[in-house]
Amino acid sequence: MSLAHQAYKELYNKEPTKELSLSYSGHFSAFNANVQYTKTFMKFRLSTQWKTISEEIQKGLIQSLLSRIKPVQQTTTNMDLYEKFHKNLSKYTPSIQSDPELEESFNSINEQYFHGMLDKPNLVWGQPSTGKLGSYEYATNTITISSIFKNQPQLLNYVMYHELLHKKHQYITKGGRTHSHTTAFRQEEKKYKTQDIEQQLSTFLAKHKIKKFLKFW
């Protein structure tokens, strides 16, 4: 019985009705994974780093992917093992990427709001997106921020603060789904000292979208 088959059967307590397959790929970033599915099959693809990890934790990952397709009321022991493993990955991931402007922002926010207690993650610029302003990747301990915020220190600091809150609070799992914007997260987010920062951000994004539209008009 394949690992994917075991994971399905233990999660739903029944045999799968679709063909299941599991493969490992070097095209993913570290400890990433996805699932593709149709009416007849499910294909689980994991990054090659997963090959060296316990099968019990791999089953938890597969079950977490399954629960996004067909939610469950309770998590399994394997899913709990996977969550603990995933949350602790950042502790063992070296910080080797750090843009000077982003590092300056990190240092400022870390001292001002976190008493300098957060370890520095990898800090990189992303695409100049007005949709995805920033992200924190737990597996690689990396904060990526939209490059539209280059030379915009006040707005950059706010986005940095938001992503560092993700690093601090991580996430919780309910019904097989992860939730990052918890009550504790939202309460701390409100502590940002620039009162009109959301309005400043909205105005900046609106102007940026207009400039982008006119550029291609």
Give how far the C-alpha of residue 56 lies from the chain's centroid of Cα atoms, to the nearest Å: 22
Please state, for a pLDDT cut of 70, what percent of the chain lies above it: 94
Average pLDDT for residues 82-91, to the nearest whole number?
A: 84
- Model confidence at 64, pLDDT cuts 50, 70, 90, reads very high
The CATH number of the domain covering residues in 3-91: 3.30.2010
Over residues 139-155, the pLDDT tens digits come to 889 999 999 999 999 99
Q: Classify domain 94-215 by CATH architecture.
A: 2-Layer Sandwich (3.30)
Asked if the model's pLDDT at residue 184 lies above 70, the reply is yes
- The beta strand positions in the chain, using DSSP E, are 19-25, 33-37, 41-47, 122-126, 134-137, 142-146, 172-174, 177-179
Asked if the model's pLDDT at residue 11 lies above 70, the reply is yes
Residue 89's pLDDT is: 82
Average pLDDT for residues 30-55, to the nearest whole number?
A: 93
Asked if the model's pLDDT at residue 45 lies above 90, the reply is yes
Residue 181's pLDDT is: 87
Assess whether the region 3-91 and the region 94-215 belong to the same CATH fold.
Answer: yes
CA atoms of 174 and 17, how far apart (whole Å): 25
Q: What is the pTM of this model?
A: 0.70
Could you state, in order of their start, the residue ranges of all structural domains in the chain? 3-91, 94-215
Phi and psi dihedrals of 193, rounded to 5? -80, -20
- Residues 157, 133: contact at Cβ < 8 Å? no
Over residues 108-166, the pLDDT tens digits come to 999 999 999 999 999 999 999 999 999 998 888 999 999 999 999 999 999 999 999 99
- Residues 175, 72: contact at Cβ < 8 Å? yes
Please state, for a pLDDT cut of 90, what percent of the chain lies above it: 69
